[in-house]
Amino acid sequence: MTSIERQITTSITSDSPYIGKRIDYVLTQLWPTYSRAMWAQALLDNQVKIDDKIAKKSDKITANCRIIAIEPTIEHQYVLFAPKTLPEVLFEDKDVIVIIKPAGLITHPTPQNSSPSVAGAFASRINDPDPQRPGIVHRLDKDTSGVMILARNQKSKKFLQQQFKDREVHKVYTSLVSGHIQPNHARLELPLGRSIRNPQKMIVTQSGKAASTEYKVVKEYTECDLLEIILYTGRTHQIRVQLAYLGHPVVGDEVYSQVANTSIPKPPRQFLHASSLTITLPSGDKQTFRAPLTQDLQNYLNQLV
């Protein structure tokens, strides 16, 4: 350890909830200021020990052990910027804030994008030391609008994150897709993984992670279908990738669509909207929050026949 490195330690008691958990998971729970990627790198660099042994990411925590780590270096200082107009708030209490995210707003900053974000919009009302994702428990793509829930403190954040992890959150989306999808009601089980050729894109691959989506056609237009979609998992770009794989990409999706819809009007953006979210709040109340279709998407539908 050099003079500029700082050692951080903790002891695991015999009644700790972390016993039996992997060290890479435990590190992010004990010291959430540092991202999962930073801890992964620290493990690769042999900067974490369990007792006197160098830890590997798959090592599991045992009772009465001691975790010793070199504090990761935060190479990128995230700056949280708020948009000029804050998103509409649907609900707020001491634990959560529920909003309607507008299209064009990123969920949180990244090293590649420090533009105004949802995280920046509400950082002043959230007590969370995460420098990149304060209050963020799930995300919507930049050009996707709709319901989002934010945690106002670390305890609420863990409570909500666990529900998303356990797939106990009911998420409904509205989307317009190219062509007429068949059958008109189905559940998709198409695993997703990151593209080797383009790491910014996701692909359907048998070696990927399980991804489950249910769709139902709610209205047919001349060259496209309006769908109600239930998302059972929350993989990156899940709806967009799976529907494009079936040959019915989301209308307006410039990343995954290979369909040139020259006979229908160009949409203002990708037609994807998070319509409702049903979740149990830290207070114990189970609530459903709804966001009506945004005006730009509704105006676009009004043009179609």
Tally of CB atoms within 10 A around 33: 14
Alpha-carbon 183 to chain mean position: 29
Q: Which residues does residue 259 pair with via DSSP β-bridges, in sequence order?
A: none
Catalytic residue among 24, 128, 141, 253: 141
Q: Can you point out the beta strands (E) in the chain? A: 7-11, 48-50, 53-54, 66-70, 88-92, 96-101, 145-151, 170-178, 185-189, 192-194, 202-204, 212-220, 224-231, 272-280, 286-290
CA distance 106 to 108: 6
> Which helix (DSSP H) or strand (DSSP E) does residue 155 occupy?
helix 154-165
Q: What phi, psi does 79 have (nearest 5°)?
A: -115, 125
Active site residue 52: no
Q: Report how far apart, in Å, the C-alpha atoms of 138 and of each of 184, 250, 269 are.
A: 29, 21, 21
Tokens 């160009």, residue?
266
Are 297 and 226 contacting, i.e. CB atoms less than 8 angstroms apart? no
- The rounded distance, in Å, linking the Cα atoms of 3 and 118 is 38
Return the active site residues: 141
